[in-house]
Every structure is written in C-alpha cells, then in structure tokens.
Structure 1
Amino acid sequence: MRKILVGAVTLVSLMMPLQAFAEEPIASAEALLHQMDEASRELSYELSYILIKKNSIEPLRYRHALEDGQTYAHLIYLSGPPREVIQRGNEISYFEPGLDPFTIDSNKMVAPLPPIMQSDINELSANYDFISMGRSREAGVACDVVRIAPKDGARYSYLLWIDHRSRLVMRADLLDRDGEPLEQYRAVSYVVNPKVGDVLKSLRSVDLPAVVQLPPQPQAELSWQVNWLPQGFESVSRNRHRLVLTQRPVESKMYSDGLFSFSIYVSEADSYTVREQLVRQGRRTLHSHLQGEKEVTVVGDIPPATARRVAESVVFVGSKNGANSTAEKAAP
C-alpha cells in the first residue's frame, strides 16, 4: 500500500509543472519568435540535435555564446569524417575533409542550423503569418509551438517547438505545401550555462585560417530578367562565369526572402540539354527548360510549382516578350 501511495505522489509531482505550464497565458506567436531570436543570439548554450532528412540522419552539436559583444560559435558534425564550423565575431572558418581550411568575412554560418535562427523576424512578418499552435513537449521540456506560414502559398513553411523557459528552438519541421515534413531539426539535449561561454572564449587565441581576400566582383549586366517572383524575394547577388568542366558561359542570379533562397542559371543550350527537367530532393528543387536557344534552370529551397513559374517568367532583353519589361516584379 505504501508503494502505491509513493507512486501516486510521484506521479502528481511530475504532472504539476505541466499543469501549471498549461495554465499560463501564451504569448503571441510573433512575440515568441522575437524571444527565440534574442535567446539564440545572446544566451550561452550547447545544443545537441539531429537533422532528419528522407534518407539520412545527421547528429550535430552546436555551442554558442556572446562575450563582450562578440559572437562565438562552434558547430561540429558528430558522425562521418571530421567536419566543423567556427565563428569568431564576423569571421567564420570552415573545416571540411579534402579541402584546405578557410575563413570568410560573414556573421552567418553556412551550416545545418534551423534557418529561423539566422533570420530577421521583422522582415519575415511582411510575407509570413505567425500562428500559435498551442503547447507540447519536445526534448523532455515544455514548449510553445509556432507555425511560420507563407501568405502567398508559393513557398514552404516551418513548425517550431520553442522551449518555454530558455526560448531556444527544440525542434523545427520544414513542411511542404501539403503539410508533409521535408526535414526536421530535433534537439536531443541542451544546456544553458555561462560556462559554455568560458569554453568558447578560448577561440580568441586559436590560430584559425587567414581570411580569404576575394577581389571585388562587379555586378554583371545580364541579358535577361525575371517577370515574376514570389512576394518578398529580392536579388542578393548576380554573376557571370564559365563552368569548370565544359567552359560553357553561365549567368546567374540569387534571390532570398530572408528564410529561403534560390538561384536562376541561364546558359546556351547544347547537345546535352534536355527540353525540360524537374527534380526535388528534400527541400531542394531543380527545374530546367529550354527557351529558344537558352537553357533556364532554377535551383533552390522552393516548391516545384514555384520554381517552374519563376523559370517560365524569364525573358531576354530585346525579345518580343521582354522588350517592354524594365524591372523584375514580385507577385502581387
């Protein structure tokens, strides 16, 4: 009888924090995202998580701290060949097998982190709705669940589990337009502790690769433009270069809305060009088609239907369809 009473008392004690959590008022979805953004940028923490894709599971560990106004971070892949990324202020160093280590000037890692951790919430609010989805548990802690849904339906959405106490992201599901998951970031364990900052401060004295000094790249004047873009996507770079293997000239533009990005490539068609091709692997879509003597290819983190519409809206300067177009236009 005594064991039964002890078990009952234990069960009640475990349920009380969850009940109290359920009774607390939920902050607005946008407020939660701002709190998440602040926590991700300012706390000293270590997060172990897995990135789940259709055919793979990648375990990773991410450490972050803000010390004396400077960001320090360290991402390490926990399986396979040693790979890591180190951030020290506005310098990010990459260590990859088969490549010489290098450092670039940047304040954003190109690494498997939930993109929302490196996005501007205020900018996203113009093109996404932030929807509170209630409360749940993830990684053993109580979480507020928020959906980031596009207003135009022309891109993917995210479902986030945000730790009620620390406001760190415990889980992030990338969903297609049917609500099916394309990939998931799921925390396994985490700790918020100033000692993480003490560990990362040692990066101050680490001898990292010298910053790569790239010559300034003039913004090339391209012979084409895009007549339709999803609302909020803006050009962030453009380039003209030759493919390494074939030396075929290619013109390209990259676009981003602050959460997702894609690139358009235009080149002369050759004997290897197919009339139309569509491939989707996880979050990445590739759509290419022939337009006269040109091959137009769209590659990026957008749905296939959006990639197709962007590709088909490309017009060439001086052509019948593009002669009167003077600027790229976003969807209304």
Structure 2
Amino acid sequence: MKPFLIGAIALVSLVANASTEDSPAEALLHNMHQATEQLDYELSYILVRKNSIEPLRFRHAVVDGKSFGQIAYLSGPPREVIRRGDEISYFEPGIDPFTIQSNQMVAPLPAVMQTNIDHLATMYDFVPLGRAREAGVACDVVRVSPKDGERYSYVLWIDQDTKLLVRADLLGRDGDPIEQYRALSVVVSPQVGDMMRQLATVELPPVVHLPNKPNTGLNWQVTDLPAGFEPIYRNRHRLLITERPVESQMFSDGLFSFSVYLSEADKFSVPEQVVRKGRRTLHSHLVGNAEVTVVGDIPPATAKKVAESVRFVSQPKAPAVAEPTTPAESGVETQ
C-alpha cells in the first residue's frame, strides 16, 4: 500500500507541475511577443480582405529603451502611423495629423502582436498545427481558438529563427478565412534601428490632451458579455455627421473589441438590422423608444446576443446632449 501511495503522490505532483508550465504553443506565442517588442526589423506585407489587397510596410526598433514603430500604406493616398514610446501619431488624408498617448498602434496589424499572451490563455486555446513554410522561411503554425466559440480565431505562422509573425489568418466560426496578414519579406538588422532613430528628432504633431471627464454614468448595461470582454470606455457624444446624441460603451478581450451604442429611435430606425463586412459586424434592434446598435469584430450571432442583453436601470430615454468627439476620443478602432 505504501509504494502505491508514494506513486500516487508523485503522479499528482507531476500533473500539478505540468499545469503551471506553459504549453509548447503558448511558449511559442510568448517568444513571438518578445521578438515583436525587442527586435529591430522591417516587415513588408499585404493585408488580404474579401475584395481588396493592401500593401504595407512595418518597421520596429528599440531606441534608447523605447519602442519605435512606423506603418506606411504603400498604395493610395499617403497614410502613416508613427510610434515613439507611448506616443502614437496618425497621418490620415482629409484630417489634421494628431498624436495621442497610448502603447498600442491602431493600425492594420494582427492584434495578437500587441496583446498580453497570459491574458489570452484564459479565453483561448493554443493548438500546435505543425510546421510549414511562409515568406521563404520555415515556420511553426499555431491556432488560437476561443474556448467559448463566441468570437473569431486565428491561425499563426511564426518564423522558427526570428520568432516574428509572418502570417496570420483570421477565421470565422465556420473556419472560413475572413482576413489574411501575409509577410512578403522579413529583415532583421541593426540598420533598421539606425533608420528608426531618425524619428526621435522628427517634429510630430503635439499630443492631444483631452479634458478630464468624470466617469460617465449610464442608465443601461450589457448583461450578457462573452467571457473575458471588459468595458474599457464609455461616453456620451454626438455623431460627427448627423449630430445625433449617442451613448456608448466599448468592450475588449485584448484581441477583439466591439462597441454598444444607444440612441433615440427615429423614423429611419428599423426593428432589426444585421450587416457584416469582413471582420466587422453591425447589429441593431429597437427596445421601446431606444435603438441599440452593436458594432465590432465579433460574429453576427455574438453581436445579436450582446444587443439583446442590454437592460435599462430605468425607463429608456434619449441620450443626453454632449459635445462631438474626435476619432481618438471615441475609442472606435478604424482599419
């Protein structure tokens, strides 16, 4: 009996130790995140959507202990995003350049490159899919699959040598590809750091300092969120074009995000509407005299579930009037 007990205790100890260690796939993602933040490199890549292929270039380097990044759109009107530490500058056609304080670039890069892997592990399974070749290099392939089936998944190709992400396929719930990020060339070199160091002396737009606002209290809440989604922003504002007053809340799980908008129903409101374009879903429906709209990077079924879970603390009423917000203040991601 004693040898049996000793063996059982040893087995339990091994299982406990194994559960505290990262799986090979999770360890690979940690290596990818570390390489993304620490190496000096340049990626030329294309973003493939249903009806478009967009060429871009991403450069990254660590300059004097700060992370510098630069994304350039290589076709169409000049567009650029520049990161210097915790300051992100945006140059878009038709609007004045501006700079905000943030540690993440809102740009067409896979969000998995800029997120916390440990946090993702609580909501997603990391499944190794073997090896393949992409962008001329040998890669390890990993699937990032949601535990609850209420959001999209990724298949990632990670360079075996540099640990940089060279391909990412965004997949719908049915497994069909929605969007692809595909590197065409990867260069890891100190020369990239020398080029990026020049950005330290470039005069960029001053940081936009938004006035401090008290925590906006809303008389409604979302009662059925997918696990891991947390509120990161709430606001009252007017839509820039129609001047229609709107209340909004934004939620994120670190990989995907969506916003819930509430406004007073008008003659253009319809009982229910669903629109999907690529990764983006819009679902709206009426609750009394209020229109609830969910917009974000989630499947239509999840957007419908979220919209229908909105509950009011008191009788629904029109949102309070507020001043228009800038794109940076709205918290809505544009890609």
For normalisation by structure 2, the TM-score amounts to 0.86
Select the residue among 83, 101, 108 that pairs with 1:105.
101
Letter of the 2:204 counterpart: L
Select the residue among 270, 295, 298 that pairs with 2:294.
298
For 1:246 and 1:34, locate their aligned partners in 2 and report how far apart those are by CA, in whole Å: 45
Query: After the TM superposition, which residues 116-195 of structure 1 pair with which residues of structure 2 at under 5 Å, given as runs?
Result: 116-195=112-191
Matched, 1:314 2:310: yes
Select the residue among 87, 91, 99 that pairs with 2:83.
87
Matched, 1:68 2:64: yes
Query: After the TM superposition, which residues 316-331 of structure 1 pair with which residues of structure 2 at under 5 Å, given as runs?
Result: 316-318=312-314
Letter of the 1:138 counterpart: E
Select the residue among 263, 267, 270 that pairs with 1:271.
267
Distance change in 2, residues 1:56/1:319 (3 Å): same
Gapped regions of structure 2 (runs ≥ 5): 1-22, 317-335
Deviation at 1:107, TM superposition (A): 1.3
Select the residue among 32, 40, 43 that pairs with 2:39.
43
Gapped regions of structure 1 (runs ≥ 5): 1-26, 321-332
Matched, 1:221 2:230: no
* 2:332 aligned partner: none
**How many residues in Structure 1 have an aligned counterpart in Structure 2?**
294
**3-state SS of 2:275 partner:** strand
Worse-matched range after superposition: 250-259 or 214-223:
214-223
RMSD: 1.2
Deviation at 1:271, TM superposition (A): 0.6
**3-state SS of 1:38 partner:** helix
Distance change in 2, residues 1:244/1:60 (3 Å): closer
Select the residue among 194, 197, 219 that pairs with 1:198.
194
Deviation at 1:217, TM superposition (A): 2.6
Deviation at 1:226, TM superposition (A): 1.1
**3-state SS of 2:94 partner:** coil
Deviation track 1:232-263 (CA, whole Å, cap 9, x = no partner) reads 00000000112234433211000000000000
For 2:273 and 2:217, locate their aligned partners in 1 and report how far apart those are by CA, in whole Å: 27
Worse-matched range after superposition: 280-289 or 89-98:
89-98
* 2:207 aligned partner: 211
* 2:9 aligned partner: none
Deviation track 1:157-190 (CA, whole Å, cap 9, x = no partner) reads 0000000000000100000001100000000001
Deviation at 1:98, TM superposition (A): 1.4
Letter of the 1:225 counterpart: Q
